[in-house]
């Protein structure tokens, strides 16, 4: 693997800020981001990426490649929870297996944004319609995971879900709602809207991303102690499953005919794990599952792995495969 790719990714201000946040916890600094700001940063990043995606989607149009990519994205979001559930069931109960499977079937918007930053740094182009894939992949995994829990828990006890509430939480949670909403705004306003919001949605973007990853570094480092509860099995799972999912994503992207940049983003979507939307849904619908298992594996293992090693690793594989 080309070491320069890893260095190029690591020597990126947002990624270095992530390390800075982790280091602050390890050296017991009193550094912290005031509570309301990380939520604001998250909302800003989701709106900006969604809005830009809508504008770019207008430019690219709804071609056959776009439709195939969106279908493939939804299928991956449904398939990953199923196969990972049965792997997890070899060591875990139904509830924890279902919660973790949903986590890995869903996506991390921040990992996607970091991959976009990496591509921009390397001057590799990518299309805005990938944001639509991002928006579509978050909810299906939640629904599939809950179905798996409901079906397999039924062998030992009767469980009742408020499916209306589950679907509402899966499709109208804040991240999905803002992503889809800003995507629609971008589609409706197009280039003229982009010019008006450009100082807000582009010029400020990397500064906000840097502070957001600084906060993520603080949180990830604090979650590392939870890994003692997961054991070697889940730590290995949290690294190997993203690699497998990225490889499947690469093959799908090659079949569809996506360009290099879009392929990396698709692989990252397949390889990432949710640490915001899915945990919120699981706490409400599967209280039997242990949050320290599905949050710590996604946030303290998979997220750092992807932004430090995974993204350049996937691009390296893409370069070899495309060659």
The two three-digit tokens of residue 36, written as one number: 């309301």
In what helix (H) or strand (E) does residue 44 lie, and over which residues does it extend? helix 36-60
Q: Which domain holds residue 124?
A: 3-322
Q: Express as a percent the part of the chain with pLDDT over 90.
A: 35
Statement: residue 1 has pLDDT above 70? no
Q: What is the CATH number of the domain that holds 284?
A: 1.20.1530.20
d(CA 246, CA 263): 10
- Tens of pLDDT along 243-269? 999 999 999 999 999 999 999 999 999
Given a cut of 70, whether residue 165 has pLDDT beyond it is: no
> What pLDDT, on a 0 to 100 scale, did the predictor assign at position 160?
61
Average the pLDDT over 87-114 and give the result: 92
Which bin fits 126, alpha (ψ -120 to 50), beta or left (φ > 0)?
beta
**How many domains is the chain partitioned into structurally?**
1
Instruction: Please state the rounded mean pLDDT for residues 228-238.
Output: 86
Q: Report pLDDT for 279.
A: 79
Output the CA–CA distances (angstroms, integers) from residue 112 to 74, 193, 292, 296, in the order listed.
Answer: 16, 23, 23, 19
The pLDDT of 87-105, averaged and rounded, is 93
Instruction: Say how many C-beta atoms besides its own lie within 10 A of residue 20's C-beta.
Output: 17
Which pLDDT band, with edges at 50, 70 and 90, does 147 fall under? Answer: confident
| 261-280 mean pLDDT | 89
Average pLDDT of 123-132? Answer: 86
pLDDT digits (tens, 9 = 90+) for 27-78: 999 998 888 888 888 888 888 888 888 887 887 777 888 889 999 999 999 9
Q: How far is it, in rounded angstroms, from Cα 202 to Cα 295?
A: 30
Q: What is the DSSP letter of 308?
A: I
Confidence of residue 2 (pLDDT cuts 50, 70, 90): low
List of residues 6+ apart from 36 with CB closer than 8 A:
none
Q: Is pLDDT above 60 for 158?
A: no
Average pLDDT, the chain: 86
Report the pLDDT averaged over residues 290-310. 89
Q: How confident is the model at residue 137 (pLDDT cuts 50, 70, 90)?
A: confident
- CA gap 246, 266 in Å, rounded: 8
- Average pLDDT, integer, range 218-226: 82
Please write the tens of the pLDDT for every residue from 197-216: 988 888 888 898 889 889 88
Q: CB–CB of 94/101 below 8 Å?
A: no
Q: How confident is the model at residue 154 (pLDDT cuts 50, 70, 90)?
A: low
Distance of CA 185 to the CA centre of its chain: 22
Lowest mean pLDDT: which of 161-170, 218-227, 282-291? 161-170
pLDDT at residue 185 is higher than 90 = yes
């Amino acid at each position: 693997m080309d070491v320069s790719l890893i260095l190029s990714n690591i020597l990126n201000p947002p990624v270095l800020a992530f390390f800075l946040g982790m280091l602050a916890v390890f050296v017991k600094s009193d550094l912290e981001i005031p509570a309301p700001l990380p939520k604001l940063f998250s909302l800003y990043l989701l709106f900006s990426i969604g809005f830009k995606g809508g504008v770019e989607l207008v430019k690219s149009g709804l071609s056959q490649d776009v439709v195939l990519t969106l279908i493939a994205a939804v299928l991956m979001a449904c398939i990953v929870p199923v196969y990972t559930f049965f792997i997890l069931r070899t060591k875990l109960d139904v509830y924890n297996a279902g919660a973790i499977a949903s986590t890995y079937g869903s996506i991390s918007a921040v990992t996607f944004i970091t991959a976009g930053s990496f591509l921009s740094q390397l001057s590799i182009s990518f299309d805005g319609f990938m944001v639509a894939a991002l928006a579509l992949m978050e909810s299906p995994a939640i629904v599939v995971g809950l179905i798996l829990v409901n079906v397999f828990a039924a062998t030992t006890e009767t469980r009742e879900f408020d499916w209306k509430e589950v679907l509402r939480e899966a499709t109208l949670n804040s991240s999905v709602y803002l992503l889809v909403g800003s995507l629609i705004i971008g589609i409706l306003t197009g280039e003229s809207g982009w010019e008006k919001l450009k100082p807000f949605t582009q010029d400020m973007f990397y500064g906000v991303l840097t502070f957001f990853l600084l906060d993520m570094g603080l949180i990830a480092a604090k979650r590392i102690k939870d890994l003692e509860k997961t054991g070697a099995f889940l730590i290995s799972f949290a690294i190997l499953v993203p690699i497998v999912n990225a490889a499947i994503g690469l093959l799908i992207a090659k079949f569809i005919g996506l360009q290099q940049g879009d392929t990396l983003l698709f692989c990252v979507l397949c390889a990432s794990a949710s640490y915001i939307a899915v945990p919120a849904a699981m706490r409400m619908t599967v209280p039997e599952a242990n949050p320290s298992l599905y949050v710590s594996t996604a946030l303290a293992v998979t997220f750092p792995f992807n932004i430090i090693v995974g993204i350049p690793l996937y691009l390296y594989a893409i370069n070899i495969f495309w060659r």
